[in-house]
Homo-oligomer: A and B are copies of this chain.
Amino acid sequence: MNKNTEIGISAVEGGAAAAKGFVAAGVACGARYEGRRDLGLLFSETAGGTAAFVCTTNVLKAAPLLVTREAVEGGGVVRAVVANSGIANAATGRRGLEDARRMQALAARELGIGADEVAVASTGVIGEHLPMDRIEAGIKSAAADLGPDGKAFAEAILTTDTRTKEAAATAEVGGATVTVGGTAKGSGMIHPNMATMLAFVTTDAAVEEGCLREVLSRATERTFNRVTVDGDTSPNDMVLLLANGAAGNEKITRDSPGYEAFAAALERVMRELAKEIARDGEGATKLVEVVVEGARSEESAARLARSVVGSSLVKAAAHGEDANWGRVLTAMGYSGEGFDPDGVELFFGPVKVFGGGAPAPHDAAEANAALAADEITITARMSEGEASAEAWGCDLTYEYVKINGSYRS
Contacts and interface: CB of A to CB of B under 8 A. Distances in A.
A330 B402 contact: no
Contact of A358 (B91, B312, B329, B404): B91
Contacts of A191: 334
Given A339-B59, A401-B397, A406-B322, A127 B334 contact: no
Interface residues of A, number: 69
Given A317-B405, A326-B88, A341-B59, A93 B357 contact: yes
Interface in A89-129: 90-96, 125-128
A330 to B, nearest CB: 6
A329 B60 contact: yes
A53 interface: no
Interface in A229-257: 230-235
B330 A126 contact: yes
B329 A359 contact: no
Contacts of A312: 230-232, 312, 400, 404
A188 B234 CA distance: 26
A232 B330 contact: yes
A57 to B, nearest CB: 7
A327 B90 CA distance: 11
Interface of A: 57-60, 88, 90-96, 125-128, 188-189, 191, 193, 230-235, 310-313, 316-317, 319-320, 322, 324-327, 329-335, 337-339, 341-342, 354, 356-359, 396-398, 400-409
11 contacts: A57-B334, A59-B333, A59-B335, A91-B354, A126-B324, A126-B325, A127-B329, A232-B311, A232-B334, A316-B405, A401-B401
